[in-house]
């Protein structure tokens, strides 16, 4: 059957993440499926989960409402978190309305890039890669501090990406461009772990 990737389908760029992971699986010649994830009981059946961007306070409430909080916290696979997803996987967030999952040893500031009108595209420096990565920032968070369990992988004036074990958190939207390097890096790390 291969790798099963669930994209949390509560809010955000669900279809874009599905397409990007399908293309990344193809690029690596891996068998697998990418599905929208709507039910808590489907979480343990996945090898990886993508938590897309959206509005972090809303997604936090919907995770609780749909009884997904504990299954996500105890999930043994990899989590690929973008934008609001980064806020949700953090151990600490600068907004008490968000109940983070505490999956990564990072402290995150929500909306650090400003309001919707301040959205932008800027090149990102990826650790271990000479080629800049196109970063799409939409009301994006930044990592304020990285604990010893996590490692910085992306910078753009601020820390905008980190990994910890099988998890990857990014403050931007890699699913919006055609560059699959981070999706591929996540999948390779998942397989090696």
In a 3-state reduction of DSSP, which class is residue 160? strand
pLDDT reported for residue 51: 96
CATH number of the domain bearing residue 121: 3.40.50.880
Instruction: Using alpha carbons, list the distances in angstroms from residue 5 to 34, 63, 178.
Output: 5, 18, 19
Q: Of 78, 77, 73, 71, whose CA–CA distance to 39 is shortest?
A: 71
175 is catalytic: yes
Catalytic residue among 16, 17, 154, 175: 175
Catalytic residue among 16, 83, 167, 183: 83
SS3 content of the chain, % helix, strand, coil (to 5): 30, 30, 40
Strand pairing class (151-156; 142-146): unpaired
Q: Please say whether the beta carbons of 122 and 136 come within 8 A.
A: no
Give the number of domains in the chain: 1
173 is catalytic: yes
Q: 83: which residues sit within 8 A by CB, 6+ positions away?
A: 12, 52, 53, 54, 138, 139, 140, 141, 170, 171, 172, 173
pLDDT reported for residue 120: 61
83 is catalytic: yes
pTM: 0.93
Domain of residue 56: give its range.
Answer: 3-192
Segments in the chain below pLDDT 70: 1, 111-120
């Amino acid at each position: 059957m291969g790798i099963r990737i669930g994209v949390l389908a509560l809010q955000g760029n669900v279809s874009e993440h599905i397409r990007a992971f399908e293309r990344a699986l193809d690029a690596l010649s891996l068998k697998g499926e990418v599905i929208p994830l709507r039910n808590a009981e489907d979480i343990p059946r996945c090898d990886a989960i993508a938590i897309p961007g959206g509005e972090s306070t809303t997604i936090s409430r919907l995770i609780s409402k749909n009884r997904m909080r504990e299954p996500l916290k105890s999930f043994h696979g990899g989590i690929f978190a973008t934008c609001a997803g980064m806020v949700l996987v953090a151990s600490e967030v600068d907004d008490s309305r968000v109940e983070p999952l505490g999956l990564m040893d990072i402290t995150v500031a929500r909306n650090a890039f400003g309001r919707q009108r301040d959205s932008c595209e800027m090149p990102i420096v990826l650790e271990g890669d000479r080629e800049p990565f196109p970063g799409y920032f939409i009301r994006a968070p930044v990592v304020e501090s990285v604990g010893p369990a996590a490692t910085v992988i992306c910078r753009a004036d601020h820390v905008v990406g980190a990994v910890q074990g099988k998890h990857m958190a990014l403050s931007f939207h890699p699913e919006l461009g055609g560059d699959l390097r981070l999706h591929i890096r996540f999948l390779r790390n998942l397989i090696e772990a």
